[in-house]
Chains A and B, each alone.
Chain A
Amino acid sequence: AQTVTQSQPEMSVQEAETVTLSCTYDTSESDYYLFWYKQPPSRQMILVIRQEAYKQQNATENRFSVNFQKAAKSFSLKISDSQLGDAAMYFCAYRSSGGNEKLTFGTGTRLTIIP
């Protein structure tokens, strides 16, 4: 079974600075998907970014980018120019490429933005 580990329960960053959230995973599969979800206090789960394992290029979405290291099984999220609205829980998640597989979540990292 796959596991996802987020080793930073809490992180904080000054507004406008850059922060990196860590995620590692364990799998024996070669093809899969990785995601970062944001969960603000409203508890809604919002997709931030996704990465297909077969793509070597790191995904980017505006101020959000990932550092995907397949051999090391690492998938970190970098948030540039942090904004107050970025404050939330961030969950890393893994999904097999089989199509009917569930998402496996990490335990989350709570990000605080310091004005």
Chain B
Amino acid sequence: NAGVTQTPKFRILKIGQSMTLQCAQDMNHNYMYWYRQDPGMGLKLIYYSVGAGITDKGEVPNGYNVSRSTTEDFPLRLELAAPSQTSVYFCASSTTGGALGNTIYFGEGSWLTVV
């Protein structure tokens, strides 16, 4: 059972570089999310998507972009990386209905350091 898969798990970026965090889910969930977690803090929502072709900003979208061309994939793009983007990034997905509807399932996280 793959669930939500994120790649890469670890990455070091130099200031000003760009990269894409990949996220895929195999549960046919329509909702997908990107969160970031700074040290000692809770999770903050960056972007979310309610279905293919539809995305919306969360609490902390600046410096990021997303796309959702398929139900399964929801990549997060970091443009012009800054030290403030050093964080652990979590992709998540959920669906509605059923016994576990509205429950959000998380990937294992991607540790990003910007130096």
Contacts and interface: CB of A to CB of B under 8 A. Distances in A.
Interface of A: 33, 35, 37, 42-45, 47, 50, 91, 95, 97, 99-100, 102-103, 105-108
Consensus secondary structure, chain A interface: loop
Interface residues of B, number: 24
Which residue, A37, A95, A99, A102, has most C-beta atoms of chain B within 10 A? A102
A43 B88 contact: yes
B106 A44 contact: yes
A95 B48 CA distance: 14
A99 B101 CA distance: 9
A35 B44 CA distance: 16
Contact of A50 (B31, B43, B44, B103): B103
Which residue, A95, A105, A106, has most C-beta atoms of chain B within 10 A? A105
Contacts, number: 52
Interface of B: 31, 33, 37, 41-45, 48, 50, 58, 88, 90, 92, 96, 100, 102-106, 108-109, 111
A30 to B, nearest CB: 15
Contact of B90 (A33, A45, A47, A95): A45
B42 A105 contact: yes
B39 to A, nearest CB: 11
A105 B104 CA distance: 12
A91 B42 contact: yes
Contact of B104 (A42, A44, A95, A97): A95
A33 B41 CA distance: 22
